[in-house]
Amino acid sequence: VQASAIGNHEFDLGTGVFADAVEAAMFPYISANLDFSGDSATSGLFTDTTATSGLELASDFAGRIVPSAVIEEGGEQIGIVGATTQILDAISSIGGIDVLSGGADDMTALAAILQPVIDDLTNQGVNKIILVSHLQQLQLETALAPLLEGVDIIVAGGFVGDYPIQTAGADGRPTLIVNTDNEYTYLGRLAVDFDAQGVLITETLEERLDVNGAYAATMENVAEAYGITVEE
């Protein structure tokens, strides 16, 4: 795990338990539409990566909460931005955390919050962006995608749909949305190609059908996906 979106169940036992989970994590928790400054348990764990100079690697923010970060794969930089359901306050115990433009599902308002965070990455030369989100319903991510520029892949949290869903952003670039069922019952896998400008090459998805999809999370399937033995 290199990064994790923040959803509603992280707060089922309150912000203190969530803070303990964050501190113990070997990766950052990511959300760009939550304000932690008013919550004593989590405020000290938050770093605003959009307010500092340079690109922040996710590996350097293990045990922290950030709005965005960068991972490096094969010499390429991939930006990660997080989004959390706007109705978080009504369905979980979030203490002093504030949901920006919260209270009701409003994808236009959410897009306005996320776009500057995305732009912070693209302005620094990151041309591949993944949004990790937990909006409760897959149709919300489907509605959000066309409102954003620069997002290539959305890893959604909600209900199962086609794998991947193919759509486009506000800039006309292809956007893929992936999602699996909950409770760790499936392992989602997505392999994609990008051109030199960081634009998804959707034509090669047909060549990836032997990899892409939702796999039943059996010991055998998970071991094969990670290239390890069942015993490992």
- Let me know: does 58 contact 2? Beta carbons within 8 Å: yes
Calpha distance 193→202 (Å, rounded) = 8
Which pLDDT belongs to residue 159?
67
Query: Strands (DSSP E) along 36-157, which ranges?
Result: 65-66, 68-73, 76-84, 98-99, 129-134, 153-155
H/E element holding 142? helix 138-144
- 80 DSSP assignment: E
Q: What is the predicted pLDDT for the residue at 42?
A: 98
pLDDT of residue 158: 65
Q: Which of 131, 159, 161 has its CA nearest to residue 3?
A: 131
- Expressed in angstroms, the distance from the first to the final Cα of the chain is 16
State how far the alpha carbon of 190 is from the alpha carbons of 52, 139, 226, in Å: 31, 20, 13
Tell me what pLDDT residue 60 has. Answer: 97
Q: Please give the pLDDT value at position 105.
A: 97
pTM: 0.94
CA nearest neighbour of 41 among 124, 123, 97: 97
Q: Per-residue confidence of the chain (232 residues) as pLDDT tens digits? A: 999 999 999 999 999 999 999 999 999 999 999 999 999 999 999 999 999 888 999 999 999 999 999 999 989 999 999 999 999 999 999 999 999 999 999 999 999 999 999 999 999 999 999 999 999 999 999 999 999 999 999 999 866 668 999 999 999 999 999 998 888 899 899 999 999 999 999 999 999 998 999 999 999 999 998 899 999 9
